Amino acid sequence: MKPVLAVEDLTVTIDTRRGPARAVAGVDWAVRPGETLALVGESGSGKSMSVLAATGLAPRTARVSGRIHLLDTELTGLPEQRRRRLRGRHVGFVFQDPMTSLNPVLTVGRQVVEAAQEHLGLTRRAARSRAVELLDLVGIPSAGQRVDAYPHQFSGGMRQRVVIAMALACEPDLLIADEPTTALDVTTQAQIVELVADLQRRLGTAVVWITHDLGVVAGIADTVAVMYAGRILEQGPVDAVFGAPSHPYTRALLAARPDPAAGDADLVTIAGAPPSPLDLPPGCAFWPRCPVRGDARCEHEMPPLVPVSAGHQVRTFYPQATDRRD
Amino acid sequence: MARFVIRRLLQSAVVLLGVTLVVFLLLQLVPGDPVRVALGTRFDPQTYEALRARAGLDQPLVVQYFDYLRRALTGDLGVSFRSGRPVTAIVLERLPATLSLAVTAVLFAVVIAFPLGIVSAIRSGSLVDHAARVFSQFGVSVPDFWMGIMAILLFSGVLGWLPPSGYVALTEDPGRWASHVALPAATVGLVTASILTRFVRSSMLEVLSEDYVRTAEAKGLRTRVVVLRHVLRNALIPVVTVVAVQLASLLGGVIVIEVLFAWPGIGRLTYDAVAARDYPVLQGAVLLVAALFLLVNLVVDILYARLDPRITVK
């Protein structure tokens, strides 16, 4: 099946006062209808930026290159007006913090159907009933009354439901969920994950789920791309990547998951910090923190992305190596 | 809403009471004898004592104050030492001129500052933005009386388009009213516009970086819709306060400009009353200004609740 959204060699450079920062450096990924692609990585790994750049929402100071296909259209080089229409009509967004991603002075109903009014030309009356329908769809009780309420009258979890309803207003082909559960408490997180998974099953929407919660990835994703310092270090079907993690970084991430059974045992961490995007090393960006540390080649040469099994690729010179424990 | 307004009006009454007390006490501290000044060269002891008694100045302070308050409640603010006319009438007849100038100046400022501040924020770093910042720097730093003199020289001296000074009531002749109010209002308005442009710009910039603006952009809305529906409405909330403070301070009279343009407003009245030690007029003028200030604040609070649903007036 043709992908809904695919990027090839996507690079994003942000001009800062201290020089150009390469936030995303030659990334390829694709998401097919009905599938969920999870982008995982630490803060600043470029996972959000790659998606924002692909959909034309990167900050103005960002320079984007590479090829971006949305459905049948090549987005790079397209005038902003056309990109804007395609984005609003075919892509829905759910952002991280529902406390700040809704406009405080407009009613939720108005915000929910705004995109549909813009792109599908709904009349005022149709818009209102559509708003109620959408709020109902995401499980907001007595949607008929709540449609005229303002965001501050909702709890965090309910607001995130509103944001999801908003994202689905035009029945998009793709839903982008940018850490949609990070700002919520644990029980609400589970409800939101379940809601999105359920809506995806019913509507057949493709989902790009940006997260650093590997538990969520294991539960809902079909494919996963692990990002570090603007590059993909490992990607493939979620079972393959999680079942046989081939990059030392992926293994470290999986090992760093808190284990409820371990009780009060110390959390496992990855020593060190990611490199600054202003000053990336010539070789593997993970090399300084890497538990394998093959040889000088790792320090000076960027390893290519190589296949290890069907659809499973990894960016390392030593896919079969075992981690040193020292 | 009605209960909110009533409660606020009662609070305002308490504040006004405080204003009368403070003004009354301050006037006691001012050196100089108003009756002596009023008599000038016609001074003789008998007339002096008679006048003092008529004005109640021979009574103890407490008696004087409560006497003043009691009459003020019936709308009688006393009699001018200088002209012998009722203060209430003197103060109220200055109100139209002051309102004309203040409201026109603020409208002028809003018309300039809003588009300039909005464009400046959206295209921050552009040529328009730099021009706007130079303009507002200029407006804030150049003294208004100098700007007023230059405006008179240019528009009535060299070009002869507008009268250099004077006031015509709106009800008398709207055309001539407009030509007279143009220069002083533009002079005062330019300063206000400079201040306001900065506030609009910074408020817009702040809102532009909000998450919900990105949400609006993600919906694929047109830039105009994003700016007007999502950014401006939120950016306006703090700006409303600044507009109100500016309006209120202009209602208090712009003394230098009113003197320069021979504008018969509250500012000139206050200035003349101070010079002549005409205490009743001064008290009346201050009281009116305080009342206007409170009224503007009440309107702002109601406006706030209209603009921001998170605020409820109860």
Domain for residue A40, yes or no?
Answer: yes
What pLDDT sits at residue B45?
82
Distance CA(B38)–CA(B58), nearest Å, equals 16
List of chain A residues whose C-beta atoms are within 8 Å of the C-beta of residue B309:
104-105, 150, 152
User: In this complex, do A104 and B211 lie within 8 Å of one another by their Cβ atoms?
Assistant: no
Domain for residue A65, yes or no?
Answer: yes
Q: Would you call A159 an interface residue with chain B, using a CB distance cutoff of 8 Å?
A: no
* Domains: count for chain A: 1
Domain for residue A131, yes or no?
Answer: no
What DSSP string runs through A205-271?
-EEEEEES-HHHHHHH-SEEEEEETTEEEEEEEHHHHHHS--SHHHHHHHHTS--GGGTTPPPP--S
Task: Please check the confidence at residue A325 and state whether its pLDDT lies above 60.
Answer: no
- Give the tens place of pLDDT for each residue, B249-271: 888 778 888 888 888 989 899 88
Domain for residue A284, yes or no?
Answer: yes
Confidence class of residue B216 from pLDDT cuts 50, 70 and 90?
A: very high
Q: Would you call A164 an interface residue with chain B, using a CB distance cutoff of 8 Å?
A: no
What pLDDT sits at residue A8?
93
Q: Which of B215, B233, B237 sits opposite A101 (nearest CB)?
A: B215
Task: Please check the confidence at residue A322 and state whether its pLDDT lies above 70.
Answer: no
Only one residue has tokens 């009699």, namely B79
Task: Please check the confidence at residue A58 and state whether its pLDDT lies above 80.
Answer: yes
Q: Would you call A79 an interface residue with chain B, using a CB distance cutoff of 8 Å?
A: no
Q: Give the 3-state secondary structure of residue A74.
A: strand
Q: Report the relative pairing of strands A36-40 and A223-228 from DSSP bridges.
A: parallel
CA distance A222 to chain B (A): 25
Comparing C-alpha atoms, which of B285, B132, B255 is closest to residue B194? Answer: B132
CATH number where A248 lies: 3.40.50.300
- Give the tens place of pLDDT for each residue, A254-305: 888 777 776 666 677 787 788 888 888 888 888 888 887 767 788 888 888 8
List of chain B residues whose C-beta atoms are within 8 Å of the C-beta of residue A115:
219-221
Domain for residue A73, yes or no?
Answer: yes
Chain B residue closest in CA terms to A100: B211
List of chain A residues whose C-beta atoms are within 8 Å of the C-beta of residue B221:
84, 88, 114-115, 118
Query: What is the b/e burial string over A234-270, where b = at least 16 CB atoms within 10 angstroms of the residue's CB?
Result: bbbbbebbbeebbbbbbbbbeeeeeeeeeeeeeeeeb
pLDDT, chain A, mean? 88
Task: Please check the confidence at residue B312 and state whether its pLDDT lies above 80.
Answer: no
Q: How high is the ipTM of this complex?
A: 0.86
Q: Give the 3-state secondary structure of residue B263.
A: coil
CA distance A325 to chain B (A): 43
Range of the domain at A20: 5-98+174-184+201-315
- The answer to whether A236 touches A216, Cβ cutoff 8 Å, is no
What pLDDT sits at residue B112?
94
Domain for residue A258, yes or no?
Answer: yes
User: In this complex, do B220 and A57 lie within 8 Å of one another by their Cβ atoms?
Assistant: no
Best of A60, A101, A153, A166 to disrupt the B interface (most B CBs within 10 Å) is: A101
- The pLDDT of B31-52, averaged and rounded, is 76
Domain for residue A115, yes or no?
Answer: no
List of chain B residues whose C-beta atoms are within 8 Å of the C-beta of residue A87:
218, 220
List of chain A residues whose C-beta atoms are within 8 Å of the C-beta of residue B217:
57
Task: Please check the confidence at residue B121 and state whether its pLDDT lies above 80.
Answer: yes
- Give the tens place of pLDDT for each residue, A147-170: 999 999 999 889 999 999 999 999
Domain for residue A19, yes or no?
Answer: yes
Q: Which domains does chain B have, with CATH numbers?
A: 95-263 (1.10.3720.10)
Q: Which of B218, B225, B307 sits opposite A87 (nearest CB)?
A: B218
